[in-house]
Structure formats: structure tokens, C-alpha cells
Amino acid sequence: MNKTAVIAAIVALMAALGLTGYKIVKDNGEPVPYAVDMDAQLVSKVIDGDTFTIQDGPKIRLIGINAPEEKECYFASSTEYLKSLIENKKVKLEKDISGTDEYGRLLRYAILPSMSATEDNLLINEALVRNGYAVREQQSPDSRYKDLLATAEAEAKKAGKGIWGACKTASNIPANEEREIDLGPPFPECNIKGNISEKGFGKTYLVPGCDNYEKTKVDTRKGEQYFCFEDDAIEAGFRKAENCP
């Protein structure tokens, strides 16, 4: 066996064992069309303060943070800041535990490589939080940078940066604690989760076994609700999430 064949065999083995740093298959066993974590990727468009697309690739949702939605306080500033950092630039994407969300977006940390050998790379997720353009949003099991993000948020809040200074009322701050209060189903058997997307994907429902079912919260303040039967969810205007069995 020549050297090229040996290297190819090693790479294939590492990929099969999940040692290459990217996800080859979804949690449901279906193939992921883009293995984006190997090389730097060109950011083609910033959608908002925590979402962007890569060239010829899927949408990327920055993990561990939450930026203001459209019509929320500081939305435009957050979006423009992310554009200034990464749009039309190459970033490296780092996966934690989760691969995708229920909308098919890749959940990733984004790293902007430094042009200098003596300067640190820039973790985009942390930069957004540290400068007050986003808040941290801890979702199990993705916790690689939870301490770093918590420290960054505490510093931004103390200094009144960005959101913490410009958005005076709690209702205008897109804090995870403010928006996601789940009191649980009224009855144990009524465990179908009706979720309303804040990213423009509409109203979907998830049943046990759906990807991200355990991480999805039902906040009745946003019009979300639990259902006992799928027919009830459909009648209320919800459609089944695409990555449900």
C-alpha cells in the first residue's frame, strides 16, 4: 500500500470514529450535505446577529448566544456588527455536541483566524456577547465555551455595553431567561410541543423523538402551547417539524 493510500485509510477511519471535528451524519442517521468544519469557509451573507450563510452552503446558527430579532431593540446594530466582523471573510466553524437545529441550520462556533502569528484568533460568539450585541443562551448539551460566554456577558452587563445600555426594559432584551419559560404540559400525556419560530419559520410542533424535542421550550407568553393530539396542533395552525420521525 502506497503512502497516499495509507493516509486515505487513516482519514477514513478517523471520520468513521468522529475524530475529524465535523459531523458526517445527523443524529437521525441521515447524511449531512456539508461537512464545513475542516477548512475556513467564506461567509456570503449575514442574516442577523447570530445567523449567516456560507458560500454554496447552508445557514449557520451561532451556538451559545442569542442576538435580537427583527423589531427588537438593537437588532440593526447587532446585525451590522456581525457583518463588519465576518461578511465576505473566511471563518473556521467549530462544532460542539449538537449538529443541526430543527430547521436544518448548522449549530456552530465561528472563529475568525488572526492574520498575525502573535495575535489570538477571534471567537465570534464571544465577541458578540462581550460587546453587548448578543446575550448568552446556554442550551444543553452544548457547553464548550459556557464559562467564557458567562464571563463575557457579565462584563458587558456591568459596563452597560450595547444591549445592556441601549435597551432599558427587560422586555426589550433578548435574554434567554426572559423569553423561554416552560411550565410543562398541563397533563403528562399532552406532551406535543407547539413552537413558534422567531427566525421566520412559522409554527411547528414536535413529538417525543423529534430532533431537539428535549431542548425546545414552550413559552405560553409567545402563543406557544402543548397539545394532546397531533390533530389539535394542526387545527391550531402548527405543522410537524421537518426532522421529526
The residues annotated as belonging to the active site are 61, 69, 105
130 close to 149: Cβ distance less than 8 angstroms: no
Residues facing residue 196 across a β-bridge = 203
What single letter denotes the amino acid at residue 146? K
Handedness of CA 239, 106, 22, 147 (dihedral sign): negative
DSSP, res 105: P
Characterise 212 by phi-psi region: left (phi > 0), alpha (psi -120 to 50), beta (else).
left
- At 44 the three-state DSSP class reads strand
> For residue 141, is the peptide bond before it cis, meaning its omega torsion is within 30 degrees of 0?
yes
Parallel/antiparallel/unpaired status of strands 203-206 and 239-240: parallel
Strand, helix or coil at 4?
A: helix
